[in-house]
Chains A and B, each alone.
Chain A
């Protein structure tokens, strides 16, 4: 009877329900005919004997002993079944028992939500790499919102991730869309054939919203962080992103968005993108499209973010009709507004919350307006003497570091922008003020509620001094955003703002209309710097396994609680960590702990 095998565990006590579940699970195993899981009482042993489940071991069992016995088609099957006991006992239902408990550590959170594949990190920069390391230790992808992460840490983390087939999106990654679920600041965008790899700020949000507005959708919107395409980092995450999109059956078109990358890396990345075999649309903000198009035949070079979205849908076969520029009613309203301005009102003041949008504005405006000042380091703008004071034409990124130390980002709090708006309105030389209004999960719940009254006051003040002030608002959002797009637009319009949905059109309209106001159009006074991508670069791909994004998004959030709420609002599973600095922030102990940590010692 060697096909009947038993295992006796003394000193083990299990609830009878657990024993019953184990018995059922054993019977379901291949080759198992019958199984018994009982405590070794005389009565139980008798029942086992009647079922042909008795062995000398079972007979010797004491009432305290847990008896597990199986009868199988052969000895091998019986052995295999017994080998599963611990696994079957450990199998648990997903925990609904965590309600009311806030884990303090990433590991604790991972036990509460074992299915989480993502860790969102938004802790202060000096702790961020440590948390990201822990996430990688646990085998999870990282969405790294934190900034001020040292470059060498970024490189180390990304190399670790590549090897393990995990993603580190960031640092300084503000947004991402994975399987339709937004991480960080993200808009409600339907799922569709367009896969985007982007540094992941407002550039990705703008493209995603435009795709959605045109009737399309995104498969994934993957963030890389702003330094990924630099020489030292070498595009580690972008390569992984392209590999994911190449494999993803839902992705039919790939869009690559970035500020101008290092020429060497750009050549390599574009070669990788082309080798995916899928249509590729690329837009490097601020870079002359003609330079790229000539060197990378087969790559579709978009002149603006919005155009990138439109071209992507065209490539996906979702024919997006070109949006007619001449009959754009917003442009007509703007022209009418500017027609009422006084002759000395010449200048534009762009007050941005989104860094990529500010860069794009600068890139587009340099063809129209001069002199053009900014705090954004991009060819085409002259540096402002102080970011707090505008000069001539000015585009200022109010989300830049100098404004956000110890203060909420303007996408969350418009207080600073409202004050600046009222200041600019006092300047008799200002003709137009341009604002971006970014909606979506994570953003301010009602930006129009803060901005509309300020716009009205600004225009009234100017009006009292006999000036007509044009205020342009570019609303980046979708009809699936929690703020209700139509309501936001209506309130901004009621306050007297001219509302655009396409950022490029808004900027081009302002540029051309202001350029025509007695100043005469300028030829580009700051031509783009020479930028020579190497088109002969090899398409070496990331060496590790391709990260798997096939599971529904479940995440652990470490840092800003709003990111947990955002995921919850989208119906994703999320556990928020009640995080504190490790070892109370003691540098010496943190160093010891890092060296004593198993995987990195």
Chain B
């Protein structure tokens, strides 16, 4: 039987949808109210599906912290019992139109950003960024973490939600395009984007806050955190990737995500099926006092940025951070040039000044990955393997090649190419 799908055409459709997706931050909501399929007994997490037994330290810590935050558990043991007994379920963020950095745990009462793709109508969600140090996304769950989470939800979220609504929505695609011209790559470096984000909201926060002290606290919290915009950016990328998902015959990779144990991908034409391989330890630079032995395997949904054509794929736009991943500015250029070899398009809206405003490489084609043996580059933070220690470095990681081979064979079997 001669296969009837035109893969090139399918990929062209999928990548066009990815680029034309137009995610706008329209508001904040409670996870239980806004995330499709969210339930009282459900926790969402980063990466492909996983059980408590196989979960790494940071993910376990974040699960514990989220259940304490929800008031469902008062100790790590209680939290563990809830999950292992089946009273609380774990499902990937990605299966609920959501993404979260690092452990990526989203619990029912958490506030989440709502991104709306104005081109295709789909929505995507992400949690709020807590800043640095001992934070839930790195698996910390102590009282300091709980206090910050409560402040974020009780004090900041209402004001932020009102400010976003009053702004008429923040066009994250345009913000990202501008940030790429200001030295960000949208994954490890979001300094410029966070400033643009804070600047856009500042007047509305000032008006929405009950008093100037609260306005000042919120503005300082957002302004001090160079990752403030990371979560809305990730949700925007998720909205783009989801727009490209589900195109019959397409070999485009629409999800790359890690749960701290496995790296997983999903492919446009293969529905909810995950293809997974072991997550690796990133190569990079460690903060003083830490080394590779302390590192957790790769974790987080933030690889959605690379999936959508920024992050490591836009490294040539962000030469300032190459020393962080131990390299020279030429390495930054080369990183982006290499990614053109496994992608099907150059982005219409995200461009790189140094490459003469060439569009970023976008739309990872499984076929090109398998043919060339070049796996996608990922810029990433490095988590300590123990819950709650936090970020201990940053670096570069690549997903294992084998899951791309599995995915290719699966697509070939589905469409009669095998």
The chain A residues found within 8 Å of chain B, CB to CB, are 10-15, 18, 64, 92-93, 95, 97-101, 103-105, 107-108, 111-112, 580, 582-584, 589, 592-593, 595-599, 601
Contacts and interface: CB of A to CB of B under 8 A. Distances in A.
Given A64-B171, A92-B357, A103-B341, A592 B412 contact: yes
A100 B181 CA distance: 23
Contacts of A64: 171, 174
Give 3 nearest A-B pairs by CB, closest first.
A598-B8, A13-B177, A108-B341
A10 to B, nearest CB: 7
B373 A584 contact: yes
Nearest to A595: B417
A97 B408 CA distance: 33
B86 interface: no
Given A105-B372, A582-B371, A597-B367, A11 B354 contact: no
Interface in B191-239: none
Interface of chain B, helix or strand or loop or mixed? Answer: helix
B402 to A, nearest CB: 11
A128 to B, nearest CB: 16
Contacts of B412: 592, 595-596
Given A104-B341, A108-B337, A595 B3 contact: yes
B356 interface: yes
Question: Considering residues A13, A18, A98, which has the most beta carbons from chain B within 10 angstroms of its beta carbon?
Answer: A13
B283 interface: no
Contact of B367 (A10, A92, A101, A596): A596
B372 A593 contact: no
Contacts of B409: 589, 592
B6 A598 contact: yes
Interface string B339-353: 011000000110101
A589 B408 contact: yes
B55 interface: no
B171 A101 contact: no
B178 A583 contact: no
A596 B373 CA distance: 16
Interface string B287-324: 00000000000000000000000000000000000000
Question: Considering residues A98, A107, A582, which has the most beta carbons from chain B within 10 angstroms of its beta carbon?
Answer: A107
B22 interface: yes
Question: Considering residues B6, B330, B353, B405, which has the most beta carbons from chain A within 10 angstroms of its beta carbon?
Answer: B405
Measured as residues with beta carbon below 8 angstroms from the partner, the interface class of chain B is: 35 or more
Contacts of A599: 8
Contacts of B371: 105, 582-583, 593
8 contacts: A95-B356, A100-B333, A104-B338, A104-B374, A582-B371, A592-B417, A595-B412, A596-B251
Question: Considering residues B9, B354, B356, which has the most beta carbons from chain A within 10 angstroms of its beta carbon?
Answer: B356
B54 interface: no
B22 to A, nearest CB: 5
A601 B3 contact: yes
B7 A601 contact: yes
A159 B385 CA distance: 59
A596 B405 contact: no
A584 B371 CA distance: 8
Given A592-B418, A596-B7, A14 B338 contact: no
A97 B354 contact: yes
B211 to A, nearest CB: 30
B51 interface: no
A11 B173 contact: yes
A92 B358 contact: yes
A191 to B, nearest CB: 34
A11 B178 CA distance: 10
A433 B307 CA distance: 66
A592 B408 contact: yes
B356 A92 contact: yes
A599 B367 CA distance: 14
B39 interface: no
